[in-house]
Structure 1
């Protein structure tokens, strides 16, 4: 059945959108839905991670514009819309003790400031569903953790007429999900597929590092293997960040689609009931979303699966 729904994917840096949920977004665009990627920062403090490009003076001299150009190419490949939220990359502090975060960066902005900026985008685009990172940021990068905080706060505030009244007409998104990038089960499946064909696997160390860490809950598996090749092209568009010889591409898109043809999500907040075994981020919206029935009205939260963070925000 034809439909036109709206998905907003909130990410910390350019390239995150192509490594987390990109095939899902491409699938929804192909089905006639609208998808908006929000990049909270410009990735200004990122390093050049592609060994082929390390030391390229032209790139290092103008990394800000290079990363913007990469994002523009990835956007076109995925078919999504895109906006910059306008905050400055915090960088990833390293060392012992950890150095302080740079003044004026995204992670140090007042939550009210970052929330208002995202609320404006929500009220402009009017998404039915949003995606972001879990309470620990997926991994403890300060911008990823802040991305979680601002996404949750904006999801709850966007439909409230009393919240940020100058930031547009109220709009209530219906569901908020956490992206699940690389679960232990998925990486193990890739590892075993490589060994079965007689190839060396780059994933043995990944699996060993998991130790006894608990697995996240997966509530939704979106079948999107037909879009893995498109996802990989979007990833490769971020040439400074992605090594074309790296572990992302140890299995071809076609092999990955055979081994693990879904992308996974965890429901965080929902204004509609969520059933077990979801295979669609828009599941359960039905006529409510088609008619925008809850679109501009505050609604009670039916599902709240948020957890307390187990890592602290670097400062």
Structure 2
């Protein structure tokens, strides 16, 4: 189960991993917390923006369906409302009723119910910072951690299904500085313009701490599925933009993996890993 904040996050974070496991016959469920109603049009070639948040949500539902097909995964919505990314100094208050303002147990309840019905062995989501400080990403982490801990406890979230305890919880690390620097160096070494130049300088200047990477999943055979899923999100992804600026043959050569941090495990592990299901008994694997 891969838990994400908005439609399109599943295509930019761990997408090739989910496509790989789905292709291998694993049941993979992507969960999207919000409808992406407050997202901006980030693709300059898209055209006119939807006329309302409701219209934007409908467009993004269609985009998400296309991405799920491209990845070969199942998909469910939690049904919360996009909080938007507050900007300004001081930051404005979040919109009333948005995902980030929902009390934790109320927000986690539908995810607990989904964990208990789908019965995943592994859950992936974001680290406590959200990967970047979007309130929905931080809230996505909070409810994922809550569901991982609570779904197996019969005394909690009564009425939300029979208890089920997932075995491993991972955080996505698709934009680690190590990855960015490695690809940046390879691109510039090939005499090409890197999309990561400003990013490398900015992260170094801000001294953003790097989190531990415990798990690297080989998945380059599924980069094409990831790319197709990205393109499905036409409001958000420019096919001529950032996500496609690195030649794919070069990317496969220098960075054929996706990275994770093992946050919690209820099975013995030996780090580093190259499989999200490492340590899970073959009879228990999906």
Q: What TM-score, normalized to structure 2?
A: 0.96
Report the CA distance shift for 1:232/1:60 in structure 2 as closer, same or farther (over 3 A).
farther
**Superimposed CA distance per residue, residues 26-63 of structure 1 (whole angstroms, 9 cap, x where no aligned partner):** 00011110000000000011000001125x15x34521
Q: Contact 1:23/1:224 (CA < 8 Å) preserved in 2?
A: yes
Aligned to 1:170, what secondary structure does the other structure show? Answer: coil
Deviation at 1:193, TM superposition (A): 1.8
> For residues 169 and 195 of structure 2, what CA distance do their matches in structure 1 show?
33
Runs of 4+ in 1 over 3 A off after TM superposition: none
Give the one of 56, 59, 66 matched to 1:66.
59
In structure 1, distance between residues paired with 2:118 and 2:249: 34
In structure 2, C-alpha distance between the alignment counterparts of 1:194 and 1:264, rounded to whole Å: 20
Distance 2:269 2:7 in 1: 30
| Mapped contact 1:229–1:254 kept (Cα < 8 A) | no
Query: Match of 2:258?
Result: 263
Can you list the C-alpha shifts for 1:219-240, whole angstroms capped at 9, x where unaligned? Answer: 0000001111110110010010
Are the equivalent residues in 1 in contact too, given 2:195–2:246 (CA < 8 A)? no
Q: Superposed, which structure 2 residues align to 1:72-111 within 5 Å?
A: 72-111=65-104
Indicate whether 1:279 and 2:274 are aligned: yes
Matching residue within 161, 164, 176 for 2:157 = 164
In the TM superposition, residue 114 of structure 1 has moved relative to its aligned partner by 1.1
Structure 1, unaligned runs of 5 or more: 1-7, 293-315
* In structure 2, distance between residues paired with 1:48 and 1:9: 25
Whether the 8 Å contact between 2:184 and 2:194 is mirrored in structure 1 is yes
Which residue is 1:146 aligned to?
A: 139
Task: Work out whether residues 189 and 259 of structure 1, in 8 Å CA contact, stay in contact via their aligned partners in 2.
Answer: yes
Partner of 1:112: 105
Q: Work out which of the residue numbers 149, 172, 183 in structure 1 matches 2:176.
A: 183
Q: Which ranges in structure 2 are unaligned for 5 or more consecutive residues?
A: none
Residue of 9, 28, 37 corresponding to 1:44: 37
Residues paired across the two proteins, number = 282
Q: Name the structure 1 match of 2:202.
A: 209
- Mapped to 2, the partners of 1:45 and 1:11 lie a distance apart of 16
Q: 1:245 aligns with which of 233, 240, 248?
A: 240
Superposed displacement of residue 288, structure 1? 5.9
Do the aligned residues in 2 keep the contact of 1:229 with 1:253 (CA within 8 Å)?
no
SS at match of 1:93: coil
| 1:218 alignment partner in structure 2 | 213
CA deviation map 1:177-236 (0-9, x unaligned): 000011111111211222122111121110001122221100000000111111011001
Report the equivalent of 1:232: 227
Helix, strand or coil at the partner of 1:34: coil
Q: Shift in Å at residue 86 of structure 1?
A: 0.7
